[in-house]
Amino acid sequence: MVILTMDKTFILDGKTIPFEEGETIMEAASAAGVYIPHLCHHPEFKPHGSCKLCTVSIGGRLGASCTNKAAAGMVVESETEALNADRRALTQMLFVEGNHICPSCEKSGNCQLQAVAYHLDMLTPHFTHFYPARDIDASHPDVLLERNRCILCELCVRASRDVDGKNVFGIGGRGIKSRLIVNSASGRLADTNLSVTDRAVEVCPTGAILRKRHGFTVPIGRRLYDHHDIAEVPVAGMKEPRSS
């Protein structure tokens, strides 16, 4: 049993948060039952810090809560008007940089991007849509790769590399031309050793990677985020909230 001493605490939005040695702000907040918006973070994998949604103010300095370690006495702000405005703008940009049409997406109601948008009161994409030309790879017998919904969180990359040990996915290009690639000579998913049971297939926060023949088995309206704010439904794998 880990015993938390009183000096191992910090303040988050006025609330005292205990932490264990080595924990990040995100991990400690999650264990205390406090939600910090995020998309690229997953507790099974090494923090990435790419989406920037989890940015918080740490003693007046901005930093990613998924990569910054908790320290005794630090004062952290997350739920501020300015930070949430920045998060909302980042989410709006993710929507227009891809082709996210929620009503026609199988992941609607289970999509973390959609759920984060609702949590941040994002009711319009605000910016002009890019409508990029992104291809769909339906070559695999069991898995569909829909790049139009990819947000480049690299969770599938990390899952395939660190859990599945296969390195099926990667990121190619730079800047606005960055895209999810398949590491096979042909570039087709069918020519990899990806299995439908791989962790990489399950970890996508949007509808970019989907299992075939499982569409709409749970009707829209009865899905995870249809009746619950994402702050009430932590990502699978997050630590259970500590008892007070």
- Give yes or no: residues 113 and 15 share one domain: no
Residues 73 and 129 in one domain: no
Indicate if 65 and 149 belong to the same structural domain.
no
Residues 74 and 109 in one domain: no
What is the domain-level CATH number for residue 31? 3.10.20.740
Which one-letter amino acid corresponds to residue 172?
G
CB 20 within 8 A of CB 4: yes
* Domain termination site, one of 64, 79, 94: 79
Has residue 143 been placed in a domain? Answer: yes
Same domain for 220 and 129: yes
Question: What is the reported pTM?
Answer: 0.91
Between 13 and 49, the more confident residue is 13
Quick one: 75 and 113 in the same domain?
no
Q: Which two tokens stand for residue 219?
A: 């009707």
- The confidence score (pLDDT) of residue 240 equals 55
Same domain as 193, residue 123: yes
Are 69 and 129 contained in the same domain? no
Would 244 be classed as within a structural domain? no
Q: Give the range of the structural domain holding residue 15, as residue numbers without chain letter.
A: 9-79
SS3 category, 5: coil
Same domain, 110 and 193: yes
Would residue 191 count as lying in a domain? yes
Q: Does some domain include residue 122?
A: yes
CA distance 27 to 8: 14
The total number of structural domains that make up the chain: 2
Which range among 21-30, 59-68, 231-240 shows the weakest confidence by mean pLDDT? 231-240
Residues 153 and 119 reside in one and the same domain? yes
Residue 101 scores a pLDDT above 80: yes
Which is higher by pLDDT, 230 or 238?
A: 230
67-70 long-range contacts (CB < 8 A, ≥24 apart) are 67/24, 68/24, 68/25, 69/22, 69/23, 69/24, 69/25, 70/10, 70/17, 70/19, 70/23, 70/24, 70/25, 70/27, 70/28
What's the average model confidence in pLDDT over 61-85? 97
Residue 114 lies in a domain: yes
Reported as a pLDDT band with limits 50, 70 and 90, residue 48 is: confident
**Residue 85 parent element (H or E):** helix 81-97
CATH number of the structural domain spanning residue 208 = 3.30.70.20
For residues 69 and 115, membership in a common domain is answered with: no
Residues 155 and 208 in one domain: yes
Kindly list the strands in the beta sheet with 136-137, ordered across the sheet, starting from the edge strand earlier in the chain. Answer: 136-137, 143-146, 209-211
Confidence of residue 21 (pLDDT cuts 50, 70, 90): very high
> Is the separation of the CB atoms in 170 and 223 below 8 Å?
no
Mean pLDDT over 200-212 rounds to: 96
Which of 79, 94, 113 is where one domain is finished? 79
